[in-house]
C-alpha cells in the first residue's frame, strides 16, 4: 500500500520512487534518487555556522507544504530529508515506520529505529499493554516530528544531542522529557514556543498546530526577513 502511495506522489519536494530492491536486510528496499548535499543532518553539520535564518526557514518550508496537500509522511527525520545542490529539501521513505510496526510490532520498532526516535512523537511507542494495536501515522505525529526538525534546523544539532544512545532517547521519551532549548541566536522565544506547541502530548497530540498553522508560522517569519 505505502509503495503505491509513494509511487503516485508527484511533488517537487518529494523524491521519486524509482523501484525496489531486495537482499539488503529483512525488508524490501525502496530506491530513490540521492541528492548532492546528502541528508539534512549531514548538511546542517557541514554548514552549521554558514546558514542564515532565511536559509533555515526555507529548508523547513519546502516539506511542510506537503501537508497542505493532505500527505502524511510517517517518519520525518534528519535522515529522511535530503538536500539538493540548490539547497532544496526533499522527502523520501514514505510509510516505512508504519510498515515495520504493522508486521513486527512496537517492540521491534523501538529497537530498530536507528536513531529516528529523536524526532518521533512519543505516542508511537505507546502500546497500553497490547502490541497487536497498530500505530497509524497521522498529521499530528508528523507535526511533532516537524517541531523536532525545526529544532535541528535552528540549532544545527539533532534533537537530544546530549544523549548518545537510542535507548537513552527512548527512556527520555517515556518520562516525557523533551529536548532542551539550544543556545543559538536563531532560537528566540517565538520559535521555541512554537516548537513546544508541536511537541504537545495533550490528548495524544490533538493540541498540536495543524499543518496549515505550521506553514503560516514559517511563511510569516520568512516575510519578516
H/E stretch holding 46 reads: helix 40-46
Domain assignment present for 17: no
Domain assignment present for 204: yes
pLDDT score of 101: 41
Query: What is d(CA 122, CA 193) in angstroms, rounded to the nearest whole number?
Result: 19
Query: 60 and 153 in contact (C-beta within 8 Å)?
Result: yes
Domain assignment present for 72: yes
79 C-beta neighbours (distance < 10 Å), count: 20
Please name which of 196, 211, 69, 90 lies closest in space to residue 140, comparing C-alpha atoms: 211
Q: What is the pLDDT of residues 16-65, one digit of tens each?
A: 777 778 887 777 777 888 999 999 999 999 999 999 999 999 998 887 76
Query: 97 and 137 in contact (C-beta within 8 Å)?
Result: yes
Which has the higher per-residue pLDDT, 96 or 12? 12
pLDDT score of 104: 40
Q: What is the pLDDT of residues 193-203, one digit of tens each?
A: 999 999 999 88
Domain assignment present for 138: yes
pLDDT score of 6: 62
pLDDT score of 2: 60
Domain assignment present for 24: no
Query: What is d(CA 159, CA 20) in angstroms, rounded to the nearest whole number?
Result: 31
Please name which of 122, 120, 114, 182 lies closest in space to residue 152, comparing C-alpha atoms: 182
Beta pairing partners, 29: 21
* Average pLDDT, rounded, for the chain: 81
Which one-letter DSSP state was computed for residue 34?
Answer: P
Best-predicted range by mean pLDDT among 8-12, 66-70, 137-141, 161-165?
161-165
Query: 2 and 137 in contact (C-beta within 8 Å)?
Result: no
Alpha-carbon 37 to chain mean position: 18
Q: What is the pLDDT confidence band of residue 75, given thresholds at 50, 70 and 90?
A: confident
The Cα-based distances of 163 to 115, 171, 182 in angstroms read 11, 10, 14
Lowest mean pLDDT, pick from 5-14, 29-38, 174-183:
5-14
Domain assignment present for 1: no
Question: Cβ contacts of residue 46 below 8 Å, gap of 6+?
Answer: none
Domain assignment present for 84: yes
pLDDT score of 209: 95
Look at the chain and report how many structural domains it folds into. 1
Handedness of CA 210, 212, 213, 214 (dihedral sign): positive
Q: What is the pLDDT of residues 88-106, one digit of tens each?
A: 898 887 654 443 344 344 4
The domain spanning residue 197 has which CATH number?
1.10.510.10
| pLDDT above 80: residue 183 | yes
Domain assignment present for 12: no
| pLDDT above 50: residue 110 | no
**Residue entry with cell 509513494:** 6
**Rounded average pLDDT over 65-77:** 70
Alpha-carbon 222 to chain mean position: 21
Widest CA span of the chain, in angstroms? 50
Domain with 188 in it: 35-223
pLDDT score of 23: 84
Packed helices 139-155 and 53-64: angle between N→C axes, nearest 10 degrees = 160
pLDDT score of 108: 36
Amino acid at each position: 500500500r505505502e509503495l503505491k502511495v509513494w509511487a503516485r506522489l508527484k511533488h517537487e519536494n518529494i523524491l521519486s520512487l524509482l523501484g525496489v530492491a531486495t537482499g539488503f536486510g529483512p525488508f524490501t528496499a525502496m530506491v530513490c534518487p540521492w541528492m548532492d548535499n546528502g541528508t539534512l543532518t549531514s548538511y546542517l553539520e557541514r554548514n552549521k555556522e554558514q546558514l542564515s535564518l532565511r536559509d533555515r526557514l526555507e529548508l523547513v518550508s519546502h516539506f511542510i507544504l506537503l501537508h497542505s496537500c493532505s500527505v502524511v509522511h510517517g517518519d520525518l527525520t534528519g535522515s529522511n530529508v535530503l538536500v539538493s545542490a540548490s539547497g532544496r529539501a526533499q522527502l523520501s521513505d514514505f510509510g516505512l515506520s508504519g510498515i515495520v510496526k504493522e508486521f513486527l510490532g512496537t517492540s521491534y520498532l523501538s529497537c530498530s529505529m536507528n536513531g529516528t526516535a529523536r524526532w518521533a512523537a512519543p505516542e508511537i511507542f505507546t502500546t497500553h499493554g497490547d502490541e497487536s494495536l497498530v500505530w497509524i501515522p497521522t498529521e499530528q505525529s508528523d507535526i511533532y516530528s516537524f517541531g523536532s526538525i525545526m529544532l535541528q534546523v535552528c540549532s544545527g544539532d539533532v534533537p537530544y544531542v546530549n544523549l548518545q544512545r537510542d535507548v537513552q532517547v527512548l527512556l527520555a521519551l517515556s518520562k516525557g522529557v523533551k529536548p532542551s532549548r539550544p543556545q543559538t541566536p536563531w532560537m528566540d522565544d517565538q520559535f521555541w514556543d512554537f516548537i513546544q506547541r508541536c511537541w504537545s502530548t495533550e490528548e495524544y497530540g490533538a493540541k498540536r498546530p495543524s499543518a496549515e498553522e505550521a506553514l503560516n508560522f514559517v511563511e510569516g517569519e520568512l516575510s519578516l526577513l
